[in-house]
Amino acid sequence: MTPGMVLLFATACGVSAANLYYAQPLLPSIARSLNARSGTATLIVSGAQVGYGIGLALLVPLGDMLVRRRLVPGILLIAAAALFVAADAPTITVLIGAVAVAGVCSVAAQILVPFGAQLADDMNRGRVVGTIMSGLLIGILLARTFSGLIAQVAGWRAVYMAAGVVVLALVGLLARTLPREDARPKLIYRELLASVVHLMRSEPQLRLRSAYGGLAFAAFSVLWTSLAFLLAASPYRYSDAVIGLFGLLGVSGALTASLSGRLADRGRERLVTGASLVITVGSFGLLALGSHQLWALIVGIVVADLGIQSVHIQNQQVIFAIDPNARSRLNTGYMVTYFIGGSIGSATAGVIYSRGGWTAEVVVGIAYSGAALVLWMLSQRFGVGRADIVAGL
């Protein structure tokens, strides 16, 4: 993994993951354009995340079986086609379906992360994974800024058209540049999927780390799915472009991912995980003030992203160490749970905001992140096994 190859992997992961989040700052505009309610509009984000979860379950395990130099460009080509359909969607239903298909194929990022971990040496694996994940997380966050600025000038449809063009360019670059691999293991697809289930059943550390990730990402999704509605309403009344700029606030958290990976290389994943969860819960106290205090909203977003992304990096470092020969499948089990949590967070955000406003969203965010913190405390007090039993309940 040369510096240039790490940069390519980070960029590809960022572009792929961004496909899930272009809609977040545009939800009020899309709802008006397609005559949809706010609760229905949030299903665009949920649909993308559900699609991503399906792709994680069905496509990511193929990274342990097929040549990734061909697999990754192939599924991204389908993602580009889905984005072009989204750009021309005549109804909210078609848009949700197109974005869901793009979500399925955007799991290319989760094939590249374990690929990068495999190519890195043992002493630098945490740093490499952290850097690649920084690219992925920056892509997620800048997606909001990109979409807000483009929509302000040319409308929300132009966002998906531009995204499709970018993904097409990435397909060509990856097809020429991804490293060649030795012959892949001869595995039966059905058995490959069954082995993911076996890993989830047999590895308590995988289950517990998946629970941390799913709950933290649910809190993340509650924040970012409802933020656009807060900023579009009184007292802020911001435009799509300004709402999109709030995505830049999370970049500071994404940039800490590399540092978090280095701490994991030094064996400090337990301490860093606990501290990150404490930071995440505390951030929602600041966000509670954000309904009328801009400074509190800004600081709360930065702190929340820092905590949540650090938890994610620590989780992946731990699970990749379980079995080097099954990293794609381990990542599948973890990320499916992760995006189930995110989908639940996004789906509940629209309903909760329409009924209880920003205060209710903050309460739900505290509940999700607080549950993850409680599980971490139980794991420190009673061990991974007993905490895992609680997570299973």
Residues of the chain with pLDDT under 70: 38, 182-185, 251-267, 383-393
Q: What is the CATH number of the domain that holds 26?
A: 1.20.1250.20
pTM for the whole thing? 0.73
d(CA 286, CA 306): 14
**Cis peptide, bond prior to residue 235, ω within 30 of zero:** yes
Judging by beta carbons within 10 Å of its beta carbon (0-12, 13-18, 19+), is residue 292 exposed, middle or buried?
Answer: exposed
- Provide the domain count of the chain: 1
pLDDT of residue 79: 94
Question: Could you tell me the two tokens for 110?
Answer: 């989760």
Dump pLDDT digits (tens) for 204-256.
Answer: 889 899 999 999 999 988 888 888 888 888 888 888 778 878 877 876 666 66
d(CA 348, CA 371): 17
pLDDT of residue 58: 86
Asked if 18 and 244 touch (Cβ cutoff 8 Å), the reply is no
- Residues spanned by the domain of 219: 3-392
